[in-house]
Amino acid sequence: PARDPAGPAAAPRLRTAVEGGGGTVTARPAPPDREVWEVDSPGGGFVRVGSRWDPGWSATVDGRRAEVFRADGIFRGVVVPAGTHTVRFAYRNQDEMRGRVLAGAALLVLAGLALPWPGKRRRGVNRRPALSV
Give the predicted TM-score (pTM) of the model.
Answer: 0.64
Query: Percentage of the chain with pLDDT > 70?
Result: 80
Q: What is the pLDDT of residues 101-122, one digit of tens each?
A: 888 888 888 888 888 777 666 5
Tell me: the pLDDT tens digits for 40-82? 999 888 888 888 888 899 999 999 999 999 988 888 999 999 9
User: What is the percent of the chain with per-residue pLDDT over 90, rounded to a whole number?
Assistant: 33
Would you mind telling me the total number of residues written for the chain in this entry? Answer: 133
Q: Is the pLDDT of residue 1 over 70?
A: no
The answer, yes or no, to whether residue 6 has pLDDT greater than 80, is no
> Are the C-beta atoms of residues 25 and 47 closer than 8 Å to each other?
yes
In this predicted structure, the answer to whether residue 123 has a pLDDT above a threshold of 70 is no
